[in-house]
Homo-oligomer: A and B are copies of this chain.
């Protein structure tokens, strides 16, 4: 098998084009949150199926067509661009990620993955390179789950882990007037006909490059993270019910304050996470009646529990459930029958272990590019579309460092060199995998 450098030597690389494309499209489609002097010093707010998302999708489809790709839109709005190979009777080797962002998103989370894949295809074309088998580039719809509260949405449908109907009926939580996924797919013209199904729309493998979104690579001065797996996580809706009473006339010991109970639960969840070296986070909280002099009667918050090991995550959840129950039963230290807390599971993503062949393609590619001492095998803290694809096909991921580990924040940043290293590692890994397939 030729080394990566032999492999790369046959390609016409255009340094800087990837980063230029990242900043051009971020500037045009959802730029928000200026944090520095340069025009490119902003984040991106590009919620799934919003007008900004439609804008970048339309641009992306045109780019794929101009590269000679066949473009397919599936039933849940994912975009597939198929770059032809020598033998097109076999399913394509895929690169994929997402173009949607968080409300306070940056320019790299997801975007880097799709645009690095685009840069790989541009490199193929510029180099007149024809892979043995087709190579696909995928923009998976709604990975973030920010507007429609179900993350890794479309890739989960493709993998048969969510039903299409479930997704169609999911309502937005960030719009004043909630709308469904299906309504928005129709509105922006991305309700496609390609089956959203890994059996009818086959892929041979899936490679994804992404920013780490954590501080580890930067702290250890590594250039490339070879992602061998993803930590498990579970999301819950938690509902706490107390009693609405007057804040001025209700003695503390006569209260059932749903928000005070909830505050104690948040503090406790944090303690439990510390104890198990895991993560518990509360990202959303709503209360009723929400009046300055009325004790809150009802609180709804979301709980995000994570750990590398499924069994420890389960333990964390058990402890949260029993401790929250104790708090709800004694909102003032004294027991009450009225207090209630309910858990509703939204989604569980089990611990993921990536495919050894894919991992080794990434590993050799990365080591040959930046050297053994600049790479690190790493577990992803966040879920990604690759978690879905790995349940059905060989999958692995490439991480690059990001400044201070900051992500889901306007100031998310990776250097041009870091992005370039990521794209070249992806190029080498995909070409290597394509060669493996022919052997």
A279 in the interface (beta carbon within 8 A):
yes
Q: Which residue of B lies closest to A306 (CB)?
A: B248
A1 at the interface (CB under 8 A from B): no
Residue of B nearest to A264 (CB): B267
- Given A176-B176, A266-B260, A289-B102, the answer on whether A283 and B247 have CB atoms closer than 8 Å is yes
CB-CB under 8 A for A292 and B302, given A248-B383, A249-B213: yes
Nearest to A253 among chain B residues (CB) is: B274
Residue A38 CB within 8 A of the other chain: no
Q: Does B296 lie within 8 Å of A290, measured CB to CB?
A: no
Least distance between A105 CB and chain B CB atoms (Å): 9
- Give the segment of A70-78, A158-166, A238-246, A355-363 that binds chain B: A238-246
| B248 and A213 form a contact (CB under 8 A) | yes
A143-174 to B contact mask, C-beta < 8 Å, 1/0: 01110010100000000000000000000001
Distance in angstroms between the alpha carbons of A254 and B402 in the assembled complex: 14
Instruction: Categorize the interface residue count of chain A.
Output: 35 or more
Do A283 and B290 touch across chains, with their CB atoms under 8 A apart? yes
- How distant is the Cα of A407 from the Cα of B270 in the complex, in angstroms? 34
A235 to chain B, nearest CB (A): 6
Q: Given A259-B266, A284-B291, do A408 and B246 touch, yes or no (CB 8 Å)?
A: yes
On whether the beta carbons of A246 and B407 are closer than 8 Å, the reply is: yes
Q: Would you call A370 an interface residue if the criterion is a C-beta within 8 Å of the partner chain's C-beta atoms?
A: no
Which of A246, A274, A380 has most chain B Cβ within 10 Å? A246
Say how far A316's CB is from chain B's closest CB, in angstroms. 12
A67 an interface residue at 8 Å Cβ cutoff?
Answer: no
A27 near B: Cβ within 8 Å? no
Query: Are B304 and A408 touching (Cβ within 8 A)?
Result: no
State the copy count for this chain.
2
Q: What separation, in Å, do the CA atoms of A289 and B144 have in the docked complex? A: 13
Of residues 250 through 280 on chain A, the ones whose CB sits less than 8 Å from some CB of chain B are 250-252, 254, 257, 259-260, 262-264, 266-267, 270, 273-274, 279
Instruction: Give the residue of B104, B144, B262, B288 whose beta carbon is less than 8 angstroms from that of A297.
Output: B104
| Closest-CB distance, A394 to chain B (whole angstroms) | 23
Q: How far is the CA of A146 from the CA of B293 in the complex (A)?
A: 8
Whether B284 contacts A215 by the Cβ 8 Å rule is no
A294: which of B104, B215, B233, B273 is its contact (CB, 8 Å)? B104
Are B304's CB and A282's CB within 8 A?
no
Bound-complex Cα distance A283 to B245 (A): 10
Assess whether B250 is in contact with A214, with CB atoms less than 8 Å apart.
yes
- Say whether A329 faces chain B, with CB atoms less than 8 Å apart: no
Q: Is A382 an interface residue (CB 8 A)?
A: yes
**Complex alpha-carbon distance, A259 and B259, angstroms:** 12
- From A214, A244, A287, A304, name the one whose CB has the most chain B CB atoms within 10 angstroms: A244
Which residue of B has the minimal Cβ distance to A284?
Answer: B290
Across-interface contacts of A214 in B (CB, < 8 A): 246, 249-251
Q: Is A199 an interface residue (CB 8 A)?
A: no
Whether A145 touches B248, Cβ cut-off 8 Å, given contacts A260-B267, A266-B259, A267-B267, is no
Residues of B close to A409: CB separation below 8 A: 243-245, 297
* Complex contact A252–B274 (CB within 8 A): yes
Q: Does A285 contact B (CB under 8 A)?
A: yes
The answer on a CB contact under 8 Å between A283 and B293 is yes
Q: How far is the CA of A357 from the CA of B283 in the complex (A)?
A: 56
- Set of chain B residues within 8 Å of A145, measured between Cβ atoms: 291-293
Find out whether the CB atom of B289 lies under 8 angstroms from the CB atom of A287: no
User: Could you list 7 examples of A-B contacts with CB < 8 Å?
Assistant: A104-B294, A235-B292, A245-B409, A247-B304, A259-B266, A263-B266, A283-B291
